[in-house]
Amino acid sequence: MNNNIPEYLSQMAQQLREHMTENKIEKPLMVGIHSAGVWLANVLHEKLAIEDPLAELNISFYRDDFNKIGLHGQIKPSKMPVSIENQHIILVDDVLYTGRTIRAAMNELFDYGRPASITLVVLIDRGGRELPIFAQVIGFKQQLDADSDFKLSDSESLKLSIVKKY
């Protein structure tokens, strides 16, 4: 596995600039999904010099598997503006897999208003969709066995590894 995250993030920033230009998106609100999505969004937010503060979304209460997995011990609140009505949203996450995390994120976003658009940006698209969700900006694609996950180490080093679930 290639672990050159800074290079991927530079490519993603360029793809995102092009997407914003093509779609006439000005002054977007960048929203990172807790926690690795926030780490990646911080880097992209800086590279794109977005003026509005970075927003953070914690989707724990919106997950469809909440009854099975319960709450994570370190739940942090979402940090969102009071309203996102008619704003262009750039939603950032680390891995796109089944699509259920993104569905949960969109459900929470709509609690803050009806955005003009949502652009999905992910570092890794690992396939395996269960819902019809796709990203407009992708760092790279790599499939994994169902018993494995990608894991970003922390907000500073952004070192990527593959870990076994069980």
**Residue 166, pLDDT score:** 72
Whether the predicted pLDDT of 117 surpasses 60: yes
Kindly report, residue by residue over 19-78, the tens digit of the pLDDT.
999 999 999 999 999 989 999 999 999 999 999 999 999 998 786 654 554 555 566 789
Instruction: Give the residue extent of every domain in the chain.
Output: 5-164
* Three-point CA angle 135, 83, 93, nearest 5°: 25
**Residue 152, pLDDT score:** 86
Query: Which is more confidently placed, 73 or 121?
Result: 121
What is the arithmetic mean of pLDDT over 103-121? 96
Query: Which is more confidently placed, 2 or 60?
Result: 60
**Residue 64, pLDDT score:** 62
Q: Mean pLDDT across the chain, nearest whole number?
A: 90
**Residue 77, pLDDT score:** 87
The model scores a pTM over 0.85: yes
Distance CA 150, CA 145 (A): 11
Phi, psi (degrees; rounded to nearest 5) at 90: -110, 110
For domain 5-164, the question of CATH label 3.40.190.10 is answered with no
Helix (H) / strand (E) element for 29: namely strand 29-33
Burial pattern 82-118, b for ≥16 Cβ within 10 A else e, equals eebeebbbbbbbbbbbebbbbbbbbebbeebbebeeb
What SS3 state is found at 107?
helix
Distant-in-sequence, close-in-space partners of 154: CB < 8 Å, separation ≥ 6: 39
What is the arithmetic mean of pLDDT over 79-95? 96
**Residue 61, pLDDT score:** 78
**Residue 159, pLDDT score:** 87
Phi, psi (degrees; rounded to nearest 5) at 57: -120, 125
Output the six-digit token pair for 147.
Answer: 């018993």
Residue with tokens 């992209």: 44
In this structure, are residues 42 and 32 in contact, taking their beta carbons and an 8 Å threshold?
Answer: yes
